[in-house]
Amino acid sequence: MTLPQKDPSAPPPEPVILPRSEHPISRKQIDEGSLKVLYRLSRNGHLAYLVGGSVRDLLLGRTPKDFDVGTDATPNRVKKLFRNCFLVGRRFRLAHIRFGGDNLIEVATFRRQARPEDLPEDPAEHFMVTENVFGTPREDAFRRDFTINALFYDIKTFSIIDYVGGLEDLQARRLRVIGNPLVRFTEDPVRMLRALEFAARLDFSLDEAVRSAISLRAPLIAEAAPARIREEIMELFRHQVAGKVLRSAQGLALLPHLLAGFGGDSATFELLDQVDARTAQGVAIDEPFALAALYLSRFLRTCPQDEQLMVTDAVRLAGLVLAPHCSYFHVAHGIRHQARELLVGFFRLRRGRGHRGERRFLQHPMTPQALELFSLWSKTSGQFGEVLEAWNQILNQAEESSPQPKKKTTRRRPRRSRRGRGKPSGGNPGN
Q: Is 145 a catalytic residue?
A: yes
Q: Which position among 31, 66, 286, 313 bears the catalytic label?
A: 66
Overall average pLDDT of the 386-397 stretch: 84
**What is the pTM assigned to this prediction?**
0.83
| Residue ranges per structural domain of the chain | 11-172, 287-399
Q: Is 68 a catalytic residue?
A: yes
Q: What is the DSSP string of 57-102?
A: HHHTTPPPS--EEEESS-HHHHHHH-TTEEEE-SSS-EEEEEETTT
Overall average pLDDT of the 308-336 stretch: 93
Q: Which position among 57, 68, 273, 276 bears the catalytic label?
A: 68
Q: Is 66 a catalytic residue?
A: yes
Displacement of CA 112 from its chain's centroid (Å): 27
pLDDT reading at 198 higher than 80: yes
pLDDT tier at 333, thresholds 50, 70, 90: very high
Q: SS3 for 116-160, per residue?
A: HHHCCCCHHHHHHHHCCCECCHHHHHHHCCEHHHCEEEECCCCEE
pLDDT reading at 40 higher than 90: yes
Predicted local distance difference test score (pLDDT) of residue 303: 87
| Nearest of 144, 236, 221, 143 to residue 185 by alpha carbon | 221
Overall average pLDDT of the 198-221 stretch: 97
pLDDT in tens, 125-140: 544 455 678 999 999 9
Q: Which position among 57, 72, 145, 169 bears the catalytic label?
A: 145
Percent of all residues in the chain with a pLDDT value above 90, rounded to a whole number: 69
Displacement of CA 429 from its chain's centroid (Å): 73
Residue 294 CB burial class (10 angstroms; 0-12, 13-18, ≥19)? buried
- Domain at 11-172: CATH code: 3.30.460.10
